[in-house]
A and B are shown apart, each in its own frame.
Chain A
């Protein structure tokens, strides 16, 4: 979960934990990338687009696509105009319960695909 607004980050992370998902909270794209580089296992990355720092969510997503092609990555934004990321973007604001349920399903689908469950 990559989100620079701490209250939003906390709210969605807690909603996901209640659904049984293990969540890592990153406050920036750089933090998320650092965590991935530490070698920890991740199934899905849900990232905001516009965040402080040198990397946007879309730039993080592109980097993940290149280095970790099997990882599910979803970008969210209130206003998105980055042509470099052509995949669907989840519009903000989103319904907390709906997005938590959808992310949980996608993470589990990814685990099933990889035979982790």
Chain B
């Protein structure tokens, strides 16, 4: 599969964080490949025809972080690897990618993304059912 827009591989083990972050990056014009752990990220990097340019990886996700960055560098993959140690950092990094990357399709406040993630996490941890 080929894509006309730059591709970000987002590695995040928590779906309530990964999904809004991925949607935010899509709003910025990126194609986003979602991985829920390091193994999925490696699978994507080795098998997809997509030209993955940026890897935005949560450091706490299984198989992600420094180990994934080392694995990528050892293979000479050209992707820029950005690590994030917290939800806030991940949102900040996503915002910086948006700022420097494809033109925003529409105004989209990254702080709203962070707020959305926090609300989703609070609802989840409180066991609230839709």
A85 in the interface (beta carbon within 8 A):
no
Binding site for A on B (CB under 8 A): 1, 15-16, 18-19, 22-23, 26, 31, 33-37, 40, 43-44, 47-48, 120-121, 123-124, 127-130
Question: What distance in Å separates the Cβ of A99 from its nearest Cβ neighbour in chain B?
Answer: 16
| Interface hits, A1-34 → B, CB 8 Å | 6-7, 9-11, 14, 17, 22, 24-28, 31-32, 34
A68 in the interface (beta carbon within 8 A):
yes
Binding site for B on A (CB under 8 A): 6-7, 9-11, 14, 17, 22, 24-28, 31-32, 34-42, 67-68
- Contact among A14, A38, A41 for B123, CB-based, below 8 A: A38
Of all A-B residue pairs in the complex, the 4 with the closest CB atoms, nearest first, are A27-B36, A38-B124, A39-B123, A6-B40
A39-B120, A39-B123 in contact; A25/B129 too (CB < 8 A)?
no
CB-CB nearest in chain A for B125: A38
- Per the bound structure, the CA–CA distance linking A31 and B34 in Å amounts to 13
- Contact among B19, B127, B129 for A67, CB-based, below 8 A: B129
- Per the bound structure, the CA–CA distance linking A34 and B121 in Å amounts to 10
10 example contacts (A-B, Cβ-Cβ < 8 A) are as follows A6-B34, A6-B40, A10-B33, A25-B18, A31-B36, A37-B123, A37-B127, A38-B120, A38-B130, A67-B129
- Per the bound structure, the CA–CA distance linking A26 and B36 in Å amounts to 8
